[in-house]
């Protein structure tokens, strides 16, 4: 029997529901159970694909091409279970599906309403495609009391009534602020949050209380009494030294034990947390450090690069070094008098991440030139790789008017709009007038690597599968000119039409990839490109 755990949040946003869900999934997995994690997002966008990174943070892409919430990245990294299209749903997608059904006449003339039609659609999503897993963990986005979240709370309330006894558990993540002027920890925000939850028919079984300080026993008793929760089910959630220590910290405080107890499971195997302890030990005792300069467009909001940050840390784990990140706004390098040397001096490697649009593009091109000429390890991803190729076209191959059609009409279209490509057995077709949402090249595609190339050596294979999210592509027509100038096209699509990887063979480490390798990196399986990149930075750190 599949059991369901619903994770909700209260008081304020950004308390860490995604990390809490992922950590709980990892703890259940460590006890030998199969888990699956899902995210229910209340916003009206069909998916986050058209949202600004400043609004939503990173867009996480699954193998089957879903543009989804960044929390799915946490789920994958903590559990190793690859997310799918069916693991993230939004209000927008639910309403889109319902309206399409209504237009077709599927409701047989009935009045379409939030209850039961919207709530039924949410319940169908939660229960669908569970497979043979033991636990499905469903995180509800937003905060209890948000008007857009009400249909989701109503749906899980109904599910609790419809499932078998001991088949559903509610975990509510809340905040215990400490008022320094009063010298007191305040429980009232948590009490009001639970009151709001109970007013819509949901009684939380477990309270996961975020706090900057340990919770006194008296306060735990008070919370349990006023929130109608057993004192043992009031779990302390202090800040951890690193996110990969959260499972260990939650286990020490009994979260997984309490969850199983509420399901009536008293004979669960003890968890094997050895690999989490190994990660913790590696993070606490690094053999030196390296500094990576990330030259990007959205550096004021690090969540825009969440998977990238984690993949860099995974590369650090593989090389037993601590990774320090220097955030550099690429737009600062757009002007002719920009002092790259002042901003990048001392960095052991440079990262050019993905993005869209003209702002900061010139800065990335200049950064790519700086890294190439100064022989600093450089890693370009998606848009970053495209700007590196434009730089090579201008300054290595001397191609007049080299640029990208993403903004403007360059004389030499080094990067242009993809108009068609093959996905599976179907041909995908796009044009300038195509809708922006859901029309990129999305999901997992195969790339073939050049024998003897650096990337083939790094991967240990000549065929790879990686996740994509882009609308523009490097123009294969310029391959010969660029290779003559010293830029090697070391990875191509199986039909040879789409460049996937470029590298400079006589550079210490200079690689650009069209896909997003950070999406598949995990702490226990660091992505080979990031392991190699941080290894090159480690070598560079001994030279400067």
Q: Looking at the structure, do residues 275 and 333 belong to the same domain, yes or no?
A: no
383 and 256 share a domain? Answer: no
- pLDDT value, residue 208: 97
Backbone angles phi and psi of 202, in degrees to 5 = -115, 120
- From 230, 254, 279, the end of a domain falls on 279
pLDDT for residue 344: 94
Residue 439 has pLDDT above 80, yes or no: no
The pLDDT assigned to 181 comes to 85
Residue span of the structural domain in which 139 resides: 3-279
Q: Is 407 found in the same domain as 259?
A: no
**DSSP codes, 160-195:** HHHSPTTSEEEEEEEE--EETTTTEE--HHHHHHHH
pLDDT in tens, 125-134: 999 887 889 9
Q: What is the mean pLDDT of residues 319-333?
A: 95
Q: CATH code at 146?
A: 3.40.50.300
Q: Enter the tokens of residue 109.
A: 């003339």
In this structure, the answer to whether residues 91 and 161 fall within a common structural domain is yes
On whether the CB atoms of residues 482 and 389 are closer than 8 A, the answer is yes
Asked whether residue 73 falls in the same domain as residue 152, the answer is yes
**Residue matched to tokens 């949050």:** 193
Q: What is the pLDDT of residue 70?
A: 92
The rounded distance, in Å, linking the Cα atoms of 318 and 315 is: 5
Position 421 pLDDT exceeds 50: no
- Taking the model in full, what pTM does it have? 0.93
Task: Spell out a b/e string for 309-329, using b for 16 or more CB atoms within 10 Å of the CB, else e.
Answer: bbbbbbbbbbbebbbebbebb
Which of 261, 279, 297 is where one domain is finished? 279
Secondary structure (H, E, C), 10-41: CCCCCCCHHHHHHHHHHHHHHCCCCEEEEEEE
User: Does 56 or 69 have the greater pLDDT score?
Assistant: 69
Confidence of residue 53 (pLDDT cuts 50, 70, 90): confident
Residue 49 confidence class, pLDDT cut points 50, 70, 90: confident
pLDDT for 422 beyond 60: no
CATH assignment of the domain containing 450: 3.40.50.880
Q: How far apart are CA 119 and CA 460, in angstroms?
A: 48
Q: Which residues are catalytic, by number?
A: 382, 516, 518
Q: Answer with the residue of higher pLDDT: 198 or 430.
A: 198
The per-residue pLDDT of the chain, averaged, comes to 92
> Can you say how many angstroms the Cα of residue 173 is from the centroid of all Cα atoms in its chain?
21
Q: How confident is the model at residue 261 (pLDDT cuts 50, 70, 90)?
A: very high
pLDDT in tens, 503-523: 999 999 999 999 999 999 999
Same domain, 388 and 413: yes
What pLDDT, on a 0 to 100 scale, did the predictor assign at position 334? 86
Nearest alpha carbon to residue 406 among 426, 427, 428, 389: 389
* Whether residue 350 is found in the same domain as residue 237: no
Same domain, 368 and 220: no
> Which pLDDT score is estimated for 357?
83
Angle at 519 between CA 516 and CA 521, to 5 degrees: 115
Share of the chain above pLDDT 90, in %: 81
Residues 252 and 325 in one domain: no
Question: Is residue 427's pLDDT more than 60?
Answer: no
Same-domain pairing of 33 and 60: yes
Number of domains in the chain: 2
- pLDDT of 485 higher than 70: yes
Query: Could you tell me which residue, 406 or 318, shows the higher pLDDT?
Result: 318
Please check whether residues 250 and 185 belong to one and the same domain: yes
Q: Which of the listed residues 262, 279, 296 is the one where a domain comes to its end?
A: 279
| Statement to judge: residues 260 and 386 lie in one domain | no
């Amino acid at each position: 029997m599949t059991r369901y755990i619903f994770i909700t949040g209260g008081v304020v946003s950004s308390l860490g529901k995604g990390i809490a869900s992922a950590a709980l999934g990892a703890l259940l997995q460590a006890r030998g159970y199969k888990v699956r994690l899902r995210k229910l997002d209340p916003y009206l966008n069909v998916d986050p694909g058209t949202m600004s990174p400043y609004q939503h943070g990173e867009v996480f892409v699954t193998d089957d091409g879903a543009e989804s919430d960044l929390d799915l990245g946490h789920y994958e990294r903590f559990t190793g279970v690859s997310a799918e299209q069916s693991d993230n749903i939004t209000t927008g997608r639910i309403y889109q599906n319902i309206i399409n059904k209504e237009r077709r006449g599927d409701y047989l003339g009935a009045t379409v309403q939030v209850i039961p039609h919207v709530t039924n659609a949410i319940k169908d999503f939660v229960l669908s495609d569970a497979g043979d897993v033991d636990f499905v963990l469903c995180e509800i986005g937003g905060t209890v009391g948000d008007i857009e979240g009400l249909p989701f709370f109503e749906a899980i309330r109904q599910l609790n009534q419809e499932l078998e006894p001991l088949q559903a558990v509610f975990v509510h993540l809340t905040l215990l602020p400490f008022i320094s002027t009063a010298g007191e920890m305040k429980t009232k925000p948590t009490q009001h949050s639970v009151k709001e939850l109970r007013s819509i028919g949901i009684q939380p079984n477990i309270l996961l209380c975020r706090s900057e300080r340990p919770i006194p026993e008296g306060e735990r008793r008070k919370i349990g009494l006023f929130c109608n929760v057993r004192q043992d089910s009031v779990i302390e959630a202090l800040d951890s030294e690193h996110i990969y220590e959260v499972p260990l910290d939650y286990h020490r405080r009994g979260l997984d034990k309490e969850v199983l107890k509420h399901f009536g499971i008293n004979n669960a195997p003890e968890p094997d947390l050895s690999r989490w302890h190994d990660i913790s030990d590696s993070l606490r005792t690094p053999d030196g450090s390296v500094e990576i300069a990330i030259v990007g467009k959205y550096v004021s909001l690090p969540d825009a690069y969440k998977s990238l940050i984690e993949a860099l840390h995974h590369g650090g784990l593989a090389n037993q070094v601590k990774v320090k990140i220097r955030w550099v706004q690429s737009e600062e390098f757009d002007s002719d008098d920009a002092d790259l040397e002042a901003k990048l001096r001392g960095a052991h490697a440079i990262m050019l991440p993905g993005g869209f649009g003209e702002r900061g593009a010139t800065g990335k091109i200049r950064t790519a030139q700086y890294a190439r000429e100064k022989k600093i390890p450089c890693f370009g991803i998606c848009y970053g790789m495209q700007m590196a190729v434009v730089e090579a076209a201008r300054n290595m191959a001397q191609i007049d008017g080299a640029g990208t059609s993403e903004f403007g009409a360059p004389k030499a279209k080094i990067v242009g709009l993809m108009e068609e490509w093959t996905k599976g057995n179907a041909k995908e077709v796009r044009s300038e007038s195509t809708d922006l949402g859901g029309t990129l090249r999305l999901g997992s595609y195969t790339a073939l690597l050049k024998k003897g190339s650096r990337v083939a050596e790094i991967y240990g294979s000549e065929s790879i599968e990686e996740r994509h999210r882009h609308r523009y592509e490097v123009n294969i027509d310029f391959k010969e000119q660029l290779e003559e100038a010293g830029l090697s096209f070391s990875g191509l699509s199986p039909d040879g039409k789409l460049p996937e990887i470029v590298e400079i063979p006589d550079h210490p480490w200079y690689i650009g990839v069209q896909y997003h390798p950070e999406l598949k990196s995990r702490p226990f399986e660091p992505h080979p490109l990031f392991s190699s990149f941080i290894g090159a930075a480690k070598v560079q750190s001994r030279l400067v």
